[in-house]
Amino acid sequence: MQLIDGKATAATIKKEIAEEVERIVAAGGKRPHLAAVLVGHDGGSETYVRNKVKACEECGFTSTLVRYEADVTETELLACIDRLNRDADVDGFIVQLPLPPHIDEQRIIEAIDYRKDVDGFHPVNVGRMAIGLPCYVSATPKGIYELLRRYAIPTSGKKCVILGRSNIVGKPMAQLMMQKSLGDATVTVCHSHSTTLKEECRTADILIAAIGRPGFVTADMVKEGATVIDVGTTRVPDATRKSGFRLCGDVRFDEVNPKCSYITPVPGGVGPMTICMLMLNTLAAGKKEYYR
Ligand code: GUN
């Protein structure tokens, strides 16, 4: 079994980005600028956004954090999005999810100018990805694809099983893996109502678990020699940690590990790649790579 080191891969990519940014700036170009909108004080969201701002510094980007209390109105948030859409200095921005229940998340996503939607959540980007056009791709699936590519794991013609059908991970992951010019794999998506889930998993050359259920994938669900990608990051209480919790993946690492050819750990696997891909999308936004 070989461990897929997302932390080291992300560090390498961030260094590559930082070098490119310095070349752009030295040639008289503009530093990419990412803005992040954070609503409320959810612990997970606070950590993610803090790490995104830190990653911007590592990459040599300008970053702006816009904060609102949890009682912000949808109208106020839409006005903020309108300002960011029109701000010529901001190349790309994200609104950290989840949002409080009184705000219509989809309405917020659709208010973002798709040309600045570095999360790749806007229907224009989702649709363009589905038909293989240049666009911003959601960071977690993009990061997983990048790991498979950098570890030279064959995907063409292979059987890929994805657990989970979320708009952020499962669905875009399936699109990337089936795309002829990308994964070129045979893709099956399983979810909470799949009656043949275990049997499907056992056929997978590449198994991608993104269901958010700690320890869901057991050794009997994994084919000998498979590549297993664990997207789970559930916080479980742990009194021995200063934070009071630890991150738990969807895969029982200790029992699945001996059967795999490749496996991602939690933490240190997919997680660090996600923020890194947001940085790559922001670099593309700064360079106006997909849209003018
Ligand atoms: N919440 C969980 N993941 C993400 C993400 O990739 N982007 C945003 N904006 N919110 C999230």
Q: Which amino acid is at 52?
A: K
Residue located via tokens 């099956």: 188
With the most atoms of ligand 1 within 8 angstroms of its CB, the residue from 110, 112, 119 to mutate is 119
pLDDT recorded at residue 191: 98
| Residues facing 229 on adjacent strands | 208
Domain count within the chain: 2
* Residue that finishes a domain, picked among 79, 113, 147: 113
Kindly state whether residues 97 and 147 are assigned to the same domain: no
> Residue 162: phi, psi to the nearest 5?
-110, 130
Residue 15 token pair? 């260094």
Confirm whether 288 is a catalytic residue: no
Instruction: At 79, list the tokens.
Output: 């006005």
Rg over alpha carbons for the chain, rounded to the nearest Å, is 19
pLDDT-flagged residues of the chain (< 50): none
Residue 14 Cα to ligand 1 midpoint, Å, equals 19
Q: Does residue 183 lie in a domain region?
A: yes
Residue 64 near residue 35, CB atoms below 8 Å? yes
Closest by Cα among 138, 201, 128, 200 to 169: 138
Specify if 174 maps to a domain.
yes
Q: Which H helix or E strand runs over 11?
A: helix 6-26
Amino acid letter, residue 164: G
| C-alpha dist (Å) from residue 52 to 46, 57, 206, 273, 282 | 10, 9, 29, 11, 11
> Apex CA 210: angle with CA 207 and CA 212, to 5°?
135
Strand, helix or coil for residue 48: helix
What per-residue confidence (pLDDT) applies to 4?
Answer: 98
Range of the domain at 85: 28-113
Give the CATH number, domain containing residue 152. 3.40.50.720
pLDDT at position 58 is 98
Give pLDDT tens digits for 176-199.
999 999 999 999 999 999 999 999
Amino acid letter, residue 157: G
pLDDT for position 83: 99
276 in Cβ contact with 13 (< 8 Å): yes
96 lines ligand 1 (CB under 6 A): yes
What is the rounded distance in angstroms from the CA atom of residue 118 to the CA atom of residue 79? 19
Catalytic residue among 91, 96, 205, 230: 96
CA 264 – CA 144 distance, rounded (Å): 10
Residue 243's pLDDT is what? 92
184 is annotated as an active-site residue: no
The whole-number pLDDT of residue 247 equals 94
- CB-ligand 1 contact for 117 (6 Å cutoff): no
Whether residue 123 is contained in a domain is answered as no
In a domain, 9, yes or no: no
167 lies in the same domain as 225: yes
pLDDT for res 207: 99
The structure's pTM equals: 0.97
